[in-house]
Chain A
Amino acid sequence: MSVRSVLGRKGLMSPAPHKVSRIVTFEGPRGLSMRSSVYLRHVAYFLIIVLCSAVSDFCFRSVGQYAIGGKLMFAMCVLVMMVAAAGTAFYTNQREEIIEQARHYVFGLMLLPGTALALIMWAAQSMAGTSQEASSDQFMHIMMIGLPMVYFGSVILPPVLFVKMLTGMHNLHRSRLDDEELVAIWTRQDGHQV
């Protein structure tokens, strides 16, 4: 009798083959495909983050003082994901919510809008570079100053807000009602019952 089987029997160690066979027994092959799709989805997240940061880096490379743009986007996405991972360890009952919010912040607020802004800026810059008329245009001039500002705003602000949201999470979910009022609502003794 091996050490592994003894530990497994006592519930101290659960070897992977045992887990796989349990999943197949109770959920069928769909259980395994569901779990592998979760891992594949996270590999896709990694690739999308790297790809969008690389595209932004390419767009910002020629803009002298803002050349750090793409790298900054990557660093900020890493920050959000790292804080989310740490947050799931601290707030175990909010895990689903934290993952959902981290995904929303990274993909909805930073990566895709940031990459779109970087691409627009790159296109506007190349247009201003080739056309004499466009380069002297006041609107184009303002856009070339304004777009990097908006980009940096959309890349730097969300991580700050995310960290603030996460650190204030237990405050957000803490009830401000006093005990008597809370119990009255819970037990539906609030005078509104039919």
Chain B
Amino acid sequence: MDALGTGLILIVNGFLSMLGHLADPITIFGIILAGSLWWLATIEIESLNRASIKPTVRRH
């Protein structure tokens, strides 16, 4: 039971410290950068999808 309690406290502490780090400006910039790069990657994928060969005959 003690081990469970300690584990829970550790998890909660870790979560809170992670939330604390989220307020760090560098972390916020990192999240924004990751989001922007993900968006740009999605756009490149989309243009690949557009350029790929598609069936011209509609299937029923």
CB of A83 to closest CB in B, whole Å = 9
**Is A67 engaged at the interface, CB distance under 8 Å to the other chain?**
no
Query: Which residue on B lies nearest to A86, using beta carbons?
Result: B36
Given A26-B53, A81-B33: A74 in contact with B26 (beta carbons within 8 A): yes
Residues of chain A within 8 A of B6, CB atoms compared: none
Contacts of A102 in B (CB 8 A): 40
A159 to chain B, nearest CB (A): 13
Size of chain A's interface in residues, with CB distance under 8 A? Answer: 29
Within 8 A of B (CB), among A66-84: 71, 74-75, 77-78, 81-82, 84
**Binary B-proximity of A24-68 (CB < 8 A = 1, otherwise 0):** 001100010011001101110110011000000000000000000
Assembly CA distance A13 to B32 (angstroms) = 28
Q: Is the pair B37, A50 in contact by a Cβ cutoff of 8 Å?
A: no
A31 to B51: give the CA distance in the assembly, Å.
Answer: 11
- Tell me the bound Cα distance from A75 to B28 in angstroms: 10
In this complex, what residue of B is CB-closest to A70? B26
A71 to B26 CA separation, bound complex (whole angstroms): 8
> Closest CB-CB distance, B32 to chain A, in whole Å?
5
B12 at the interface (CB under 8 A from A): no
Q: How far is the CA of A71 from the CA of B44 in the complex (A)?
A: 28
In the complex, residue of chain B having the shortest beta-carbon distance to the beta carbon of A39:
B41
Docked-complex contact A50 and B39, CB < 8 angstroms: no
B8, CB-defined interface residue at 8 Å: no
Q: Is the CB of B36 within 8 A of A81?
A: yes
Q: Say whether B4 faces chain A, with CB atoms less than 8 Å apart.
A: no
> How far in angstroms is the closest Cβ of chain A from B35?
8
Q: Is B36 a contact partner of A31 (Cβ separation < 8 A)?
A: no
> For residue B37, which residues in chain A have a CB less than 8 angstroms away from its CB?
42-43, 45-46, 81
State the 7 A-B residue pairs at the shortest beta-carbon distance, nearest first.
A81-B36, A85-B36, A42-B41, A85-B39, A42-B37, A78-B33, A78-B29
Interface residues of B (CB under 8 A from A): 26, 29-30, 32-41, 43-45, 47-49, 52-55
- Can you give 21 contacting A-B residue pairs, CB < 8 Å? A23-B49, A26-B52, A27-B53, A35-B45, A39-B41, A39-B45, A41-B41, A43-B37, A46-B34, A49-B33, A50-B30, A78-B33, A78-B36, A81-B33, A84-B36, A85-B35, A85-B39, A88-B39, A99-B40, A99-B43, A99-B44
